[in-house]
A = this chain, B = another copy of it.
Amino acid sequence: MEVGFLGLGIMGKAMATNLLRHGYRVTVWNRTLAKCQELVALGATVGETPAAVVAKCRYTIAMLSDPGAALSVVFDKDGVLEQIGDGKGYIDMSTVDAATSSKIDEAVKQKGGAFVEAPVSGSKKPAEDGQLVILAAGDKTLYDEMVPAFDVLGKKSFFLGEIGNGAKMKLVVNMIMGSMMNSLSEGLSLADKSGLSPQTLLDVLDLGAIANPMFKLKGPAMLQGSYNPAFPLKHQQKDMRLALALGDENAVSMPVSAAANEAFKKARSLGLGDLDFSAVYEVVKDASGSGQA
């Protein structure tokens, strides 16, 4: 099977590599073409432009850094739109908002092409190991045709229905994650101020019904005040804001998420926005009386 692949950043490179390793013929493109050489060494062909890749391949996957990049690859000169059409499918696996996704969807469909949005949960390591979780939505036929490729890229893919649902599902997951990070921070802080060892709390949590990889991974780093940004706090807060806005549209009252969002806003206001989202622990701690706040 032949696929095009647009965008060879950390994620894209790992994903395209997995496709090649599993016998796919892959035509790659990247804004800085030099980055394509590593994949050529693994058997990839290079396309000069997104349009050229789409012209050559029936299916083209994109993995780009942000909504801006996702839009320009489609709408700019030599972009996807110039060659997309009947019988061709475009799959954008970048993380973008529902609005961006819809814009691309409409444009591709107008040209007669098929579109699937398929944002992933999981970062570098899962991408390399083909262990991503894929949240797909849009053209069901195209999704079905892509399943073999998704099986190479991820441990599981979901078809969520209409365009926008992939983005929405990510927001809901991140909203829960954000509230849980606040719950952990409050618990660690309460333990600390109550004469219990926060590290022992982490050990106890890890043996019980609410043990989860995030507590296990982030907890010890939080106790050391180390917040290297795997997922920047300002992005977490943005996702919570969008999730609450989605709840507002649908009149869903979510007081716990709203309280967590205010704590993230406070962290932003204290200049912690570029640290990992677990840095919300700093404001919970301060709030509980180090007196440094």
Contact = CB atoms under 8 A, between A and B. Distances in A.
Interface of A: 121-123, 126, 133, 135, 155-156, 158, 160-162, 165, 168-169, 172-173, 175-177, 179-180, 182-184, 186-187, 189-191, 193-197, 200-201, 203-205, 207-214, 217, 241, 243, 245-263, 265-266, 268-271, 283-284, 286-293
Contact of A289 (B156, B243, B270): B270
Contact of A270 (B155, B197, B292): B292
A286 B271 CA distance: 12
Contact of A252 (B172, B184, B241, B269): B269
B208 A133 contact: yes
A184 to B, nearest CB: 6
B179 A183 contact: yes
5 contacts: A193-B252, A210-B213, A255-B263, A269-B293, A283-B287
Given A160-B196, A251-B265, A258-B258, 20 more contacts: A172-B191, A172-B196, A173-B205, A175-B186, A176-B183, A176-B186, A176-B205, A179-B182, A180-B180, A180-B183, A189-B252, A209-B212, A209-B217, A252-B265, A252-B289, A253-B266, A258-B262, A269-B287, A269-B291, A271-B290
Contacts of A260: 183, 256
A10 to B, nearest CB: 16
One complex includes copies of this chain to the number of 4
A289 B291 CA distance: 15
Contacts of A250: 190, 193-194, 288-289, 293
